[in-house]
Chains A and B, each alone.
Chain A
Amino acid sequence: GAVVSQHPSRVICKSGTSVKIECRSLDFQATTMFWYRQFPKKSLMLMATSNEGSKATYEQGVEKDKFLINHASLTLSTLTVTSAHPEDSSFYICSGRELSSYNEQFFGPGTRLTVL
């Protein structure tokens, strides 16, 4: 199947700083990318959907000014957690979907964010 990578795999930062997470589709063009958040023992919660070259669409309750998403190319999307706080500590997972596979998303391995 198609491969999606995320970088970094884990990051620790101080409260008040910003953290950028990269999501790359390595062998396909991801016209749409999704960002999820996963709490321990909990399901994946969709945060936002982004189409290449367009502004992201955020789910209800997700602060767009706090979680900045950029999808400037067909192989790269970034999630920036601005002014991070301990409650933002979580596992962030991205996925990509190409135009021809409307039902299938390919997931990255996730990024563990810890805010001290």
Chain B
Amino acid sequence: GNSVTQMEGPVTLSEEAFLTINCTYTATGYPSLFWYVQYPGEGLQLLLKATKADDKGSNKGFEATYRKETTSFHLEKGSVQVSDSAVYFCALMKNQGGKLIFGQGTELSVKP
């Protein structure tokens, strides 16, 4: 079946460090891929998405590239800030308007 696997957290970084959160997926065909972020006390927000192979989603300095050959959608940011501390969820959607399938979430803590 369809599934998403993320790296275990929590991830603790110093401010301005480079961030990578790994995400791999299992699905047939070409799902759409998403990263959501959940700040403390708030709902999930869409961070970025990619709908086809080799697409790069980007937003707020975060990037992720849809890699069909490695079934991956790793999240990266060159220089994290304390305000990036949150839980990050990778997700896939198999069909347009279909249900989202989430990874287990990765908690990021950025220290000053």
- The segment out of B11-19, B64-72, B78-86, B102-110 that lies at the interface is B102-110
Q: Does A105 contact B (CB under 8 A)?
A: yes
Which 7 pairs of residues, A with B, have the shortest CB-CB distance?
A107-B43, A107-B44, A43-B104, A102-B97, A43-B102, A109-B43, A44-B102
Instruction: List chain B residues, Cβ under 8 A from A41.
Output: 104-105
Most chain B CB inside 10 Å of its own CB: which residue of A6, A43, A97: A43
A37 to B32 Cα, complex, angstroms: 22
Mask of B72-112 contacts with A, CB within 8 angstroms, 1/0: 00000000000000000100010011011111110000000
Contact present for A4 and B43 (CB under 8 Å): yes
Contact present for A43 and B103 (CB under 8 Å): yes
Instruction: List chain A residues, Cβ under 8 A from B100.
Output: 34, 44, 46, 105
Instruction: List chain B residues, Cβ under 8 A from A93.
Output: 43-44
Number of interface residues of B (CB under 8 A): 22
* Residue positions of B touching A, CB distance < 8 A: 4, 32, 36, 41-46, 49, 51, 89, 93, 96-97, 99-105
Mask of A51-79 contacts with B, CB within 8 angstroms, 1/0: 00000000000000000000000000000
Q: Tell me the chain A residues, 74-116 only, with Cβ under 8 Å from chain B.
A: 93, 95, 97, 102-110
Q: Does A50 contact B (CB under 8 A)?
A: no
Instruction: List chain A residues, Cβ under 8 A from B102.
Output: 43-44
Please judge, given known A-B contacts A102-B97, A103-B51, whether A108 and B89 are in contact too, CB under 8 Å.
no
Instruction: List chain B residues, Cβ under 8 A from A4.
Output: 43
Contact present for A1 and B89 (CB under 8 Å): no
Instruction: List chain B residues, Cβ under 8 A from A44.
Output: 44, 89, 100, 102
Contact present for A42 and B104 (CB under 8 Å): yes
Question: Taking CB as reference atom, which chain A residue is nearest B32?
Answer: A103
Instruction: List chain B residues, Cβ under 8 A from A42.
Output: 104-105
